[in-house]
Amino acid sequence: MSKTAVITGATSGIGAAYARRLAKDGYDLIITGRKKETIQKLADDISKQHKVKIDVIIAELSNDNDFQKLANTVKANNEIEILINNAGYSGYAKHFEETDIIEHEKMVKVHQIVPLRLISLILPGMIKRGKGNIISVCSVAAILSTPSNTVYSGTKAFLKSYSQGLYQEVRDKGIKVQALCPGFTNTNFAKDYYAKELYDNVMKSTEKTIMAPEKVVDYSLKCLKKDKFVCIPGFRNRMMAMFLPPIPMGIYTNMAKK
């Protein structure tokens, strides 16, 4: 019997790394992305190497019509064992008032509404079969909010908190839920998100700790086997997530501003 994984935002980076890894493990895939040629080439390469079936959905998930294309494909598949909520909304790193509210709302939609919709479609089948895995890619920003990332951090914090509640609800039904909280990862997302000068500064300051997407995925799947709810790849990221939140707000704010 076939088994299927759904991965949003699989064109490159962490999503593409999940696609390669899960195909290697024998999963058929339903993957989404916005760059048709790039994601189709990825699908063709994976299919050729691992002989799995791959459905490619070209979609901007902040658009309801595009999301519906994915929803229709998902509803037609009764063997979805893994859902990876990885799609991110990038394109700005500015103070809240410097960005059009429409952009903020699109980010909320991609980071919060789309995962909720997909989980509502897929979870009943997982519960019926008594098995399934849901991984939502959050961020260390869900734990450590910083200036110019207010909405991003807020949406990721919601996704982490929501996942924690869901984990408690379904863990005794054979379903594993994970909130994956990576730090800076070597993907195109950060390059698209930050202005060039800021991106160069961020990359320079994190060059010793930045992780490859494949390493993030490896650690995620190890955490999943252990049924570990919050998964933070990278020792430095785990230390920051542990020790920075208790710091008094005034001190933390000055550190974050720098």
The pLDDT of residue 31 is: 98
pLDDT of residue 201: 60
The predicted structure's pLDDT at residue 7? 98
Query: The domain containing residue 117 runs over which residues?
Result: 4-257
What CA–CA distance (Å, rounded) separates 229 from 162? 12
In angstroms, the CA 13 to CA 8 distance is 12
Model confidence pLDDT, tens digit, residues 138-153: 998 888 777 777 888 8
Question: Which pLDDT belongs to residue 254?
Answer: 58
Which of 89, 152, 162, 194 is labelled catalytic? 152
pLDDT for 7-53, tens place per residue?
A: 999 999 999 999 999 999 999 999 999 999 999 999 999 999 999 99
Residue 219 annotated to the active site: no
Beta-bridged to residue 29, according to DSSP, are 5, 54
What CATH number has the domain bearing residue 46?
Answer: 3.40.50.720
pTM for the structure as a whole: 0.88
Residues whose CB is less than 8 angstroms from the CB of residue 34 and which lie 6 or more positions away in sequence, other chains included: 11, 58, 59, 60
Number of domains in the chain: 1
Dihedral of the alpha carbons of 86, 87, 90, 93, in degrees to the nearest 10: -40
| Residue ranges, the chain, pLDDT below 70 | 1, 90-98, 187-209, 244-258
